[in-house]
Amino acid sequence: MLKGNRKGAKTEVPYGTLDLLILRSLELMGPLNGYALARRIEQTSDNLLSLNQGSIYPALIRLQQKGWIRGEAAVSETNRKVKLYSLTRAGAKQLHEEVDNWERAVAIVSRFLEAEP
């Protein structure tokens, strides 16, 4: 599960956020295997997010089924078989839609948080 962790407290990250984080990471970094992708997301969040195999791999399968990423067999630097995931053209388009949706949602919630009682 994708969780935020600040000073021991675990917080749920809004549904759909993992898809956005995966798509953006692949856009920025290029092809990555699932393990490297999870570590990249954790590193970028300053380890406030923790990803396990039970969350990253189902998300990767879902994104492949939607046609937003593709997975290709490869061999790692340590001579192991891995699957490298990369962003498709449809995925790049969806990423921009996801970013727009996220920015709209943040703006709406911000209005409520900034509203005076």
Per-residue confidence in pLDDT tens, the chain, 117 aa: 455 445 555 445 677 789 999 999 999 999 999 999 999 999 998 888 888 888 899 999 999 999 999 999 999 888 999 999 999 999 999 999 999 999 999 999 999 999 887
Counting the structural domains of the chain, the total is: 1
Residue partners of 117: CB distance under 8 A and separation at least 6 = none
**In-domain check, residue 16:** yes
**What pLDDT score was predicted for residue 78?**
87
Task: Identify whether 7 is part of a domain.
Answer: yes
Alpha carbon separation from 72 to 83, 87, 97, 115 (Å, rounded): 5, 11, 25, 49
pLDDT of amino acid 63: 97
User: Domain for residue 58, yes or no?
Assistant: yes
CATH number of the domain enclosing 53: 1.10.10.10
Phi, psi values for residue 83, rounded to 5°: -115, 120
Q: Containing domain of residue 68, as a range?
A: 3-110
Note the pLDDT of residue 76.
82
User: Is residue 115 in some structural domain?
Assistant: no
Task: Give the pTM.
Answer: 0.84
Q: What is the pLDDT of residue 9?
A: 53
User: In whole angstroms, what is the distance from residue 69 CA to residue 98 CA?
Assistant: 14
